[in-house]
Structure 1
Amino acid sequence: MNSEFSYRLLPGLLPYYAFRVCTKFLQSQDLILPGVIIGFLANGFNIFSNWLFIFQFELGVNGAPWATSLTRAIQFIFMILYLLWRKDSLADTWPSFSLRKLSYNVVKPFLTLAFSGMFSFAAEAWSFEVTTILAGLLGTIALDSHTITLNIATFIYLSFPFAVGIATSIKVGQLIGEGKAADARRSAIVAYGVNFAVQITLIAIVWPCSRLIASLFSKDEEIVDLVASLIPLSCIFMLGDAVQANTGGALRGLGRQKLVLLLNILGFWLLAVPFGAVLAFATNIGVRGLWWGFTVGLYSAAFIGILFLVFRVNWEKEAFKAQRRIAQTSQ
């Protein structure tokens, strides 16, 4: 069933990634709203198309991936239509192809940032998959409880901290590129404050409702009890996750993707996964150990990242380096 579900998602991969590229193209120019509006419209269409494929076309669960692939294609088409509509106002940055743009001076810095950024996200995502495998070794109840808690934490993370991290990356990158070092630093500080305040508010809502939230996912009392005990741990983890989202965003805006990759390797692979595995299997705390591992690893990486931003980053020098890179790639 998993394989059948997955291959039906394949047609939507290319339009999804193309949409993401176009979204980044607009975001780099402070055009955030088009991607948001298209995203909301796509979500509405996705709900309708899922109902259509699953129930009206009677495809059952296999209708969902077809609906998702169709939604991603429609999403990309809407984005292309918007870009064509705005092509005159975007003329100065509108992408065009020439062999000169494949020169070593242009391609090398792009690939350096791209591969570091890709593997930094992969290092984080893959570590969660590994802990899911480890949770499965602890039994079905542990696996179900871990997966539910991870879904809750991911939903909260993607709802706000991740978005603020992206905004931090965009704003810091823009201001550094414009040579406004002080404004870039100020934007990063404000982002930390906003993310921290909102995350504290979300935790204050989620923590007391741990058992209620757990009961929404399962009627099995053992699973509900375990999830209710994991949610407070995940709340502690999520606070560090918000800080790490800002740290990673600021560093990416400074062009320090390689450092973000190293911090993710340290936090998730050298600390979180090994430490969590030891606690899970060598003590009697079971799956809770995996979450303590995440907490230790993430806070360690976030702390080191903040120290680097405070004591090692010369914002004026970073702005100068950005101007030099722009000059080199535009030659």
Structure 2
Amino acid sequence: MRAGKYTLIIVAPLYCINNFILVRDGVFGLGYTGAVIANIITDTSLPIYTAIYMYLSRDAGTWGGWDKRALQNMSEYFRLAIPSVITVCAEWIGFELLAFGASYFGTNQLAGQAIILNTVVIVTRFSLGLGFGTSARIGNLIGAAMLRRARIAGNVSVSMSALIGILSLVFIAFCDNWWIPIYTSDPLVIYEIKKLKPVACLLLVSNGLNAIFCSILRGLGRQKISANTYLISFYACAVPISLYLAFYRHMEAVGLWLGLCIGVILSNIVQVIYIYMWIDWKDEVRLCLIRLHRSHGNTSHDEPETSS
């Protein structure tokens, strides 16, 4: 994670500068096209700077070089990676469907929901960042058979995400005269934003918690649970409800967001039940050892104590 931090310290300011020059500058400004180009430059720079950091840092000594043995037991990798991809794609495609749906209700509602979506994504980034650390922390503690500390790490992350969501909710709900003018001064778009604001506030808390619950399951190697939960909650629940409320109940963009919020809350409920009522944390150590045996073939591992 340190490599990513140092890379972003360099890339983030450059991204702001590129956006200003390519979007608003009197000579090089290209408007919306410039924003796209700035994003492409940033996304291209991230892996380049990360590779440079890895090559120059002392961490490079921990890599033994290319070896075909690294491709052995790839089935274990795919067993974890594919559900993770499904989880991320299921959530993001669900949000993107909002844009397609809102496009049927005119430019003002489309612009309003785009602004709300961008605001929700910004707030959720805090929980996503917290979730990355949570996954690594819980995974390491489970591998070391420190069950109590693993549970504490998960509970602290949930509490922090809830606090972030509540503070964001208060700001979005009561300080709209501060943050809405950053995006627009169009009164029609502002009206649409304020219509969507109550549902968005509810989504701020639930979506952040969703990211943390998913990270806890990821740290336990239970990506399949998150993937199945997301697929069912988003596409068997959220999308049909959104379409019904938006088009048949004539709630339009508000209906789209309300349906999505119901799906996210359902996902939260399922993951909470699974994490706090279904999982046997002592058994997670045994499952971790099984995964290690599958990954390392004939390598033997002594089973640690699970009484921590």
Q: Please give the TM-score of this superposition, normalised by the length of structure 1.
A: 0.82
Q: 1:316 to 1:77 in 2, by over 3 A?
A: same
Where does residue 150 of structure 2 map in the other structure?
184
Q: Which amino acid letter does the alignment assign opposite residue 47 of structure 1?
A: C
Question: Where do 5+ consecutive residues of structure 2 fail to align?
Answer: 298-308
Q: Which amino acid letter does the alignment assign opposite residue 81 of structure 1?
A: I
Which moved further from structure 2: 143-152 or 177-186? 177-186
Whether the aligned pair in 2 keeps the contact of 1:146 and 1:227 (CA below 8 Å) is: yes
Where does residue 169 of structure 2 map in the other structure?
203
Tell me the CA shift for residue 59 of structure 1.
6.2
* Aligned residue pairs, count: 295
Where does residue 120 of structure 1 map in the other structure?
87
Tell me the CA shift for residue 224 of structure 1.
0.8
Post-superposition CA distance 1:40-61 (Å, at most 9, x none): 2111122334455564873624
1:110 to 44, 68, 77: 77
1:125-204 equivalent positions in 2, closer than 5 A: 125-158=92-125, 160-204=126-170
2:287 to 306, 311, 321: 321
Q: Distance in 2 between matches of 1:58 and 1:78?
A: 25
Q: Distance in 2 between matches of 1:253 and 1:307?
A: 17
Q: Which amino acid letter does the alignment assign opposite residue 313 of structure 1?
A: I
Q: Which amino acid letter does the alignment assign opposite residue 304 of structure 1?
A: V
Aligned CA RMSD, in angstroms, stands at 2.1
Tell me the CA shift for residue 285 of structure 1.
2.5
Q: Distance in 2 between matches of 1:165 and 1:86?
A: 26
Whether the aligned pair in 1 keeps the contact of 2:21 and 2:29 (CA below 8 Å) is: no
2:10 aligned with 1:44, yes or no?
A: no
Tell me the CA shift for residue 98 of structure 1.
2.6
Whether the aligned pair in 1 keeps the contact of 2:161 and 2:209 (CA below 8 Å) is: yes
Question: Where do 5+ consecutive residues of structure 1 fail to align?
Answer: 1-31
Q: Distance in 1 between matches of 2:167 and 2:94?
A: 27
Q: Which amino acid letter does the alignment assign opposite residue 117 of structure 1?
A: S
Which moved further from structure 2: 291-300 or 137-146? 137-146
Q: 1:173 to 1:100 in 2, by over 3 A?
A: same
1:301 to 245, 267, 274: 267
Where does residue 290 of structure 1 map in the other structure?
256
Q: 1:320 to 1:126 in 2, by over 3 A?
A: same
Q: Distance in 2 between matches of 1:304 and 1:297?
A: 11
1:257 to 223, 228, 241: 223
Identity %: 22
Q: Distance in 1 between matches of 2:257 and 2:275?
A: 27
Q: Which amino acid letter does the alignment assign opposite residue 164 of structure 1?
A: L
Q: Which amino acid letter does the alignment assign opposite residue 143 of structure 2?
A: G
Q: 1:148 to 1:49 in 2, by over 3 A?
A: closer
Local SS of the residue matching 2:145? coil
Where does residue 306 of structure 2 map in the other structure?
none
Tell me the CA shift for residue 292 of structure 1.
1.2
Q: 1:139 to 1:48 in 2, by over 3 A?
A: closer
1:55-94 equivalent positions in 2, closer than 5 A: 55=25, 58=28, 60-61=30-31, 62-87=33-58, 89=59, 91-92=61-62, 94=63
Post-superposition CA distance 1:260-293 (Å, at most 9, x none): 1111112211111111111111224321111211
Whether the aligned pair in 2 keeps the contact of 1:211 and 1:228 (CA below 8 Å) is: no
Q: Distance in 2 between matches of 1:152 and 1:305?
A: 25
